A and B are shown apart, each in its own frame.
Chain A
């Protein structure tokens, strides 16, 4: 019985030594998310515009129906998304949109601090997604 007591005490004492704390003091220190982390979406830019060709695959595959795309034609005759909006309040961060994209125009970043004050702030328009 006393052996077990001593063992328990020695374990807690070992943890008292510096360097055993696993706490991350969050707002001051932040853990880097892994490369595969599915955070906020980002539209990849290429040649002064977004890579997206408005093929409608991402809104089609989206299980939460949170992506709105409206295609149009620009002055060079290319198809581009006039409107590209992700409603982050509906998004479930499944990453199917990224998988579906045939031109790799959409990716997911490591941004996970997504809290906001107004519902409107969760509407990520094309301009915000391109940042």
Chain B
């Protein structure tokens, strides 16, 4: 039970104010992180490839995301003549919106006390929080498939088809890797999951295999580099967003990074104890999110893209059996310990 409902529900005005404050706060922070994640990514990958990354716009290239945004804003917005207009316009939004609204269930800190009220730092706590996350990440795929199909271009279509195949394979492994977590926590609510991990009982330690499998499947979900087959600049000329330009392209770009942030937040919540740790709540959470994002960037700078058959092999022949084994072992251990 969320304390907010006990205390703030008696005062609808305060409840609304706290809700809006949290929504706008989270939205602003996520969008700011999206902008600067691009800068960090370019800087870090540049350094890792013994380059410098952006240096010209502002000190250390810090104004680069703003310059990129302005440039995309003033670009010509092209819709191919044979594209399906409605779907073509809808697709970028259908990718970005699920990426952003997934964050609604992620607790980004402990409860804070404002006057007589306890305000949880989570927009809303669903008792089926994890299912909601899966539903939203599944919805994001529709955006990619729609973008691929509506562009009426073979590259885009291939990107869309690849992404749907990839999502189906990896969503399974992702869901199954979390089953072992629920067996320990006995709840699907993200708030409950964080409470079950408090005091450094993080599931990353208790379930290391599930953690690794989840992280790999997550990178496949957000189309990050070893699994960026739907985009695949070198073979599909950026896949599903080949035909997009201007702000619509920017939306795809933002969606990729928003997805990255959301998935890092979910990893931090499910496996790294959410806001549990040595610092005040929100800082712990942000450190974990940044660590996950840094790792994804690091992996992108290091490993080449998988071939399509390797991707499918990894998904169906390695990940899914391993998750099933993990579930069986966890079940046996739980029963034995009881």
A residues at B contact (CB < 8 Å): 5, 8-9, 11-13, 15-16, 20-23, 25
Contacts and interface: CB of A to CB of B under 8 A. Distances in A.
A12 B298 contact: yes
A9 B225 CA distance: 14
A9 B55 contact: no
A12 B52 contact: no
Given A8-B302, A8-B303, A9-B298, A16 B48 contact: yes
A120 B314 CA distance: 64
Question: What are the nearest 10 A-B pairs in CB distance?
Answer: A12-B48, A12-B302, A23-B52, A8-B302, A16-B47, A15-B48, A22-B50, A12-B301, A16-B48, A20-B50
Contact of B52 (A11, A16, A25): A25
Interface residues of B, number: 14
The secondary structure that dominates the A interface is: helix
A11 B46 CA distance: 14
A15 B303 contact: no
B49 A25 contact: no
Nearest to A2: B212
24 contacts: A5-B303, A8-B302, A8-B303, A9-B299, A11-B302, A12-B48, A12-B301, A12-B302, A13-B48, A15-B47, A16-B44, A16-B47, A16-B48, A20-B47, A20-B50, A21-B46, A21-B47, A21-B52, A22-B50, A22-B51, A23-B50, A23-B51, A23-B52, A25-B55
A13 B46 CA distance: 12
B55 A15 contact: no
Nearest to B48: A12
Contacts of B51: 21-23
- Residue of A5, A9, A12, A13 most packed against chain B (CB within 10 A): A12
A12 B48 CA distance: 5
Contacts of A12: 48, 298, 301-302
A25 B54 CA distance: 11
A40 to B, nearest CB: 28
B299 A15 contact: no
Contacts of A21: 46-47, 50-52
A16 B301 CA distance: 10
Nearest to A17: B47
B315 to A, nearest CB: 16
A31 to B, nearest CB: 15
Interface in B178-196: none
Nearest to A4: B303
Contacts of A5: 303
Contacts of B299: 9
Contacts of B44: 16
B298 A13 contact: yes
A93 to B, nearest CB: 29
A42 to B, nearest CB: 34
B64 to A, nearest CB: 15
A20 B53 CA distance: 13
Contact of B302 (A9, A22, A23, A25): A9
Contacts of A15: 47-50
